[in-house]
Amino acid sequence: MAVYVDDAVTLWRGHRWAHLMADTLDELHAFAAALGMPRRAFQDKTSGAHYDVTGELRERAIALGAVPISRHRDREQMRAVIARARAQGRREAS
């Protein structure tokens, strides 16, 4: 089981943002809580279950053990992570 943080550092509202995803929702929520993120920051959209994290939080997540993945270099792994995130998002009840 793992938690992942991508390199999709999109500029929005003066910050660069990436996506925190995991193999399971329990892992995802626990890791986000360890980063100090509130549950209301959880994104459950068609793009998949994830938390948006700033570039600074991305670095903290990596320091805490999140696996950095690249949308450019790790395409197969990225596809698998996104597919799991999409399936999880559809099952989330709360």
pLDDT given at position 37: 96
pTM: 0.79
pLDDT given at position 92: 47
Q: What is the mean pLDDT of each run of 10 residues along the chain (94 residues)?
A: 83 80 92 96 83 93 93 74 75 47
String of DSSP letters for 21-82 = EESSHHHHHHHHHHTT--GGGEEEETTEEEEEEEHHHHHHHHHTTPEEE-TTT-HHHHHHHH
pLDDT given at position 45: 75
Contact 78, 70 (CB under 8 A): yes
Domains of the chain by residue range? 3-91
User: Rg of the Cα trace of the chain?
Assistant: 12
Cα(29)–Cα(16) distance, integer angstroms: 21
